[in-house]
């Protein structure tokens, strides 16, 4: 089983978007995929067409003391995903995160995965935002591929080293960086990419995800860009990115 965690280097870098599209694209390659949303904004589900008013999800389910796996959904396209769920108050969120405060449930995620009856070549894709709570740290620790999503701005390039440190406390996993929102007509984007390539080497994806309006429009119509605009550049970028990530899971390291 392959486990990917996807973390945005800054807010709005596009981690949730990437998680949703990787799930679809890897699924299209013929693998079984399951996407988890660990972000309280609970927006992963929107890419899969889930109704905004439905509040179900992992957090409410666990808080209600029900089995976690009953919170999973399947999109009309056959993608399995686990929404975070809508929590009305901050206190509920804290209550949910507190479920995983050490030493409680320290291996909860691994145990969950162990109970799944899925083939070995299945992919688990997790949207794991900063900051790393105990739950999120546990997800990242269980991931064999850890992806950081960078925006083409100064913050990304100055932060890339720090992100690398926080994403890789051990050496069992490979670390990858993806540049999202790239616009080749802006000089800064060229420069940031150049710097990142020098800094990160092979860990930086050779494919950038372009700043393509199709992506925003796709989300607005609650679709992935593969359905909304299959011949867009973003669809092509994301497909190739999925191939790059799945082709040789252990080869590239920072």
Partner 1 sequence: MSAAPVDWRTRLRWLLTRYGIDTAHGWRMGIASLLLRQPNGTPPWRHWLARHFPHIRFDQPHPGDLLRIPLQLLWLALVRPARPAPVLRRGSRWYDPARWPAWLRPRLALPALAHGPAQAAMAQYGNRASTWITRFADLSLWQRAPVRYLVWGIAGVLALLCVTTPLDTVSQLVFATLIFALVFVIQSIQGPLATLLLISLSIVVSSRYLWWRFSTTLNWDQPLDWLWGLLLLGAELHTWLILVFGYVQTAWPLQRPAVSLPQDTSLWPAVDIFIPTYNEPLDLVRKTILAAREIDYPADRLNIYVLDDGRREEYRLFAGSVGVHYLTRPDNRHAKAGNLNHALAHSHGEFVAIFDCDHIPTRSFLQTSMGWFLRDRKLALVQTPHHFYSADPFERNLGTFRVVPNEGELFYGLIQDGNDFWNAAFFCGSCAVLRREPLLEVGGVAVETVTEDAHTALRLHRAGYRSAYIKIPQAAGLATETLSAHIGQRIRWSRGMAQIFRFDNPFFGKGLSWGQRICYGNAMMHFFGGIPRLVFLTSPLAFLLFHSYIIYAPPVMVLAYALLHMGVGSMTNSHIQGRYRYSFWGELYETVLSWYIVRPTAAALFNPRGSAFNVTAKGGLVEHEFFDLTISTPFLSLIALNGIGLAAGIARSVFGPPEEIATVWLNMGWTFYNLLILGGAIFVASEARQLRISHRVRMELPAILHLPDGRLVRCTTEDVSMGGAALLPATGTAIRTGDTVAVSLWRGTEEYVFPARVIATSATRLRLHWQLTGTQQESALVQCTFSRADAWIDWTRGRPADRPLFNLFGFVSSGVSGYRRLGIHLLSRFDSLGIRHAGSLQRISWWLPRQPLPPLNTDHETSIA
**Closer CB to partner 1, 171 or 185, in the complex:** 185
190 binds partner 1 (CB under 8 A): yes
Q: Where does this chain touch partner 1 (CB under 8 A) — which range of 9-17, 32-40, 105-113, 212-220?
A: 212-220
Distances (CA, A) of 193 to 16, 47, 117, 165, 204: 21, 27, 41, 20, 9
- The token duo for 80 is 């399995």
Structural contact between residues 214 and 229, judged by C-beta atoms closer than 8 angstroms: yes
Q: How far is the CB of 202 from partner 1 (least distance, A)?
A: 13
The rounded radius of gyration (Å) of the Cα atoms in the chain is 17
- Member of 25, 143, 232, 246 binding partner 1 (CB under 8 A): 232
Closest C-alpha to 141, from 165, 109, 189, 118:
109
Least distance CB 27 / partner 1 (angstroms) = 21
Binding test (CB under 8 A) with partner 1, winner from 37, 80, 127, 212: 212
- Cα of 138 vs its chain's centroid, Å: 15
The two three-digit tokens of residue 10, written as one number: 């800054």
* From 214, 222, 249, 253, residue interacting with partner 1 (rule: CB under 8 A): 214
Is residue 234 at the binding interface for partner 1, with CB under 8 A as the rule? yes
Q: Which residues pair with 3 in a beta bridge?
A: 124
| Cβ at position 28, least distance to partner 1 in Å | 16
Asked if residue 199 binds partner 1 (CB under 8 A), the reply is no
**3-state class (DSSP) for residue 168:** coil
Contact positions vs partner 1 (CB under 8 A): 182, 184-185, 190, 206, 210-214, 217, 229-236
């Amino acid at each position: 089983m392959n486990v990917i965690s996807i973390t945005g280097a800054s807010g709005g870098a596009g981690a949730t978007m990437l998680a949703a599209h990787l799930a679809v694209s890897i699924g299209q390659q013929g693998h079984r995929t399951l996407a988890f949303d660990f972000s309280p904004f609970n927006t992963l589900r929107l890419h899969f067409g889930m109704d905004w008013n439905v509040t179900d999800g992992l957090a409410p389910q666990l808080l209600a003391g029900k089995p976690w796996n009953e919170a999973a959904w399947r999109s009309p396209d056959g993608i399995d995903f686990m929404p975070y769920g809508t929590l009305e108050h901050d206190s509920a969120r804290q209550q949910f995160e507190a479920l995983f405060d050490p030493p409680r449930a320290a291996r909860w995620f691994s145990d969950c995965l162990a109970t799944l009856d899925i083939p070995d070549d299945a992919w688990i894709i997790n949207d794991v935002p900063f900051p790393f709570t105990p739950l999120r740290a546990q997800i990242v620790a269980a991931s064999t591929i850890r992806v950081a999503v960078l925006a083409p701005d100064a913050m990304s390039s100055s932060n890339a080293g720090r992100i690398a440190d926080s994403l890789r406390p051990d050496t069992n996993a490979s670390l990858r960086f993806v540049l999202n929102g790239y616009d080749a007509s802006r000089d800064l984007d060229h420069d940031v990419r150049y710097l990142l390539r020098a800094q990160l080497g092979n860990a930086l994806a050779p494919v950038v995800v372009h700043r393509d309006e199709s992506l925003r429009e796709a989300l607005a119509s609650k679709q992935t860009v593969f359905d909304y605009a299959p011949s867009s550049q973003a669809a092509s970028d994301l497909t190739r990115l999925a191939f790059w990530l799945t082709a040789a899971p252990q080869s590239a390291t920072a």
